[in-house]
Chains A and B, each alone.
Chain A
Amino acid sequence: MKSRYLSLMFLMSWGFTLQATELDVVVTDKEGKPILDVVVMATPTESQTKANNSQKTVVIDQIDKEFVHYVTAIATGTPVQFPNSDDIRHHVYSFSPAKQFELPLYTGTPAKPVIFEKPGVVKLGCNIHDWMVGYLYITDAPYFKTTNNEGRAQLINLPEGKYKVQLWHPRLAVLEEAPQQTVVVGDTEKATASFQLALKPELRPRRAPLSIQQGY
């Protein structure tokens, strides 16, 4: 009886120690405008938390000849499905070292998802519509999310502790080091962090029409 009581007390104290809290990260540019589609990752600096190896399939759709979403963050080993919601065919491909693959001309949803086994950046393209570009960021970080229209990413259910918070965006200025901060997620309900990033221009083929007069 006494041992059961002590076990219960031990478990309850362990539960208090593992109280999960929230980390709220805001990312803006040098002019203070929020940046959408920044991948925010939090990794504990002290404990060896395992990466999130959820096998739930992630979907990257093709709507109105654009990838939706433009940037998607996934855990290493996640299967990704590429449905085509347009009434025309697309041809999805990637040359990125983290995963080279090709889905030749198709409509609807391919029979099998593509599994991304290595961490890194995968740049997606469509061979028919050159302006179509999307990014997959494959990470081993246990907690990650992409920022919304307000430049905000909320990471929830984080155990207390110190975290290395890192960012990635496809247009990060080349010379800038990977942005990161150390944040303490304590016993308050919400920890916060803010970043200011410099972004380089997006140089993909343009969708808007171009007029080049060469006539006599």
Chain B
Amino acid sequence: MRLDLKHFNLALILLIGGMEFAYAEWIGNVTAQYEFNSNLSNAQPTADINSDSAFRMNLSGGKYFQLTDSTGLTMTADISGTNQIRFNGLNNISYGLSTSLRHKFGLGDSAPWVSIAGSAAYHDFENAPRDGWRYNLSLAMGKRLTDRFTLQLKYRYDEQIADRIFNILGLTLQTFEEDEPPIPIYGDAFNLSAHNISLTGIFTVTDRLTGYLSYTRREGGITSTIGYDPEILEYGDAVAVDRAFGNNRYAYKVEASTNLVSVGLSLAITGHASFNLGYDWMETTGNHNLEYNNNLAHCSLIYSFE
């Protein structure tokens, strides 16, 4: 599955890139963002909860191809840099490619549409165990229901694969048969995959102000970082040393369900630029009684060259 996603994205890009289109349009955008996360470590014990702020810059550039009257293809190269204020081990640069194919069913701004999109990006962290590829594949549909209201439904599969895995010797699963040898816990705590489904409502407040409300349900692996506590770690599907949050810190992976509610406002500054404010509330419940919350606040400036 991991190779399929990476190869799918690259194959699509090479295939489309090799085709000739008479009409292609250069597109691009720049995003500068500030973000605060109340629980960056995704921890449950109060002593292990770490908040932090980050500055992020994204550059994306590529081409838009109008394939038919109703179908358009977007292909971009993307570069992103994140700088954490406290936990510099999570500073990272990522570079990758994105593609998106969108089809409208009919004529006009109220015609329903569907899209399929994929991306592959390599993330290079200051904390090396997290280095690796991240992939996304999504299917979405949407429709402008009234002059003021648009609804979108999206399914997204995401996967991240670390370059290297470091096993912690002697760490074994807590539960095993007495006559069987202990089952070691492997160190692939930063290898995650998840299924996400989201429903988003976008509301036009004024000609320049747009609001959105979104609910996402995520099912998949999460990584939580805590101090050394074998009673908790031995329930993990994987455990790794995590120096991004300091010494004597361990990341463990479990399967979890996350409810995410997002709200935001976007102000059009010009036809090409916007200022955006957003707040996300996340509640995660994992196997073995893991529960934690995150509150994220973010603001961004986006300039689009379209």
Which residues of A line the B interface, CB within 8 A?
65, 88-89, 91, 93, 95, 102, 104-105, 107, 125, 127-128, 130-131, 201-214, 216
B147's closest neighbor in chain A, by CB?
Answer: A203
Q: Looking at the assembled complex, report how far the CB atom of A88 sits from the nearest CB atom of chain B, in whole angstroms.
A: 5
A129's closest neighbor in chain B, by CB?
Answer: B306
Contact A210 B202 (CB under 8 A): yes
Most buried by B among A65, A104, A207: A207
Contact A207 B109 (CB under 8 A): no
Contact A216 B202 (CB under 8 A): no
Q: A206-B204, A207-B271, A209-B304 are in contact. Are A125 and B276 (CB under 8 A)?
A: no
Q: Looking at the assembled complex, report how far the CB atom of A134 sits from the nearest CB atom of chain B, in whole angstroms.
A: 13
- A91 and B69 CA atoms in complex are apart in Å by 7
Give per-residue flags for B65-95: 1 if the beta carbon is below 8 A from chain A beta carbons, else 0.
0101110100000000000000000000000
Most buried by A among B108, B194, B303: B108
Which residues of B line the A interface, CB within 8 A?
23, 25, 29, 31, 66, 68-70, 72, 104, 107-109, 111, 144, 147-148, 154, 156, 158, 194, 196, 198, 200, 202, 204, 206-208, 210, 212, 214, 216, 218, 222, 258, 260, 262, 264, 266, 268-274, 276, 278, 280, 282, 296, 298, 300, 302-304, 306
Contact B264 A211 (CB under 8 A): yes
B294's closest neighbor in chain A, by CB?
Answer: A216
Q: Looking at the assembled complex, report how far the CB atom of A131 sits from the nearest CB atom of chain B, in whole angstroms.
A: 8
- A127 and B258 CA atoms in complex are apart in Å by 38
Contact B25 A211 (CB under 8 A): no
A-B contact pairs, 23 of them (CB 8 A): A93-B107, A125-B109, A127-B69, A128-B66, A128-B72, A201-B206, A207-B272, A209-B272, A209-B273, A209-B302, A210-B210, A210-B212, A210-B274, A211-B266, A211-B276, A212-B202, A213-B264, A213-B280, A213-B298, A214-B196, A216-B218, A216-B260, A216-B282
Find chain A residues with CB under 8 A from B158 CB: 216
Find chain A residues with CB under 8 A from B271 CB: 131, 207-208
Contact A214 B302 (CB under 8 A): no
Find chain B residues with CB under 8 A from A65 CB: 306
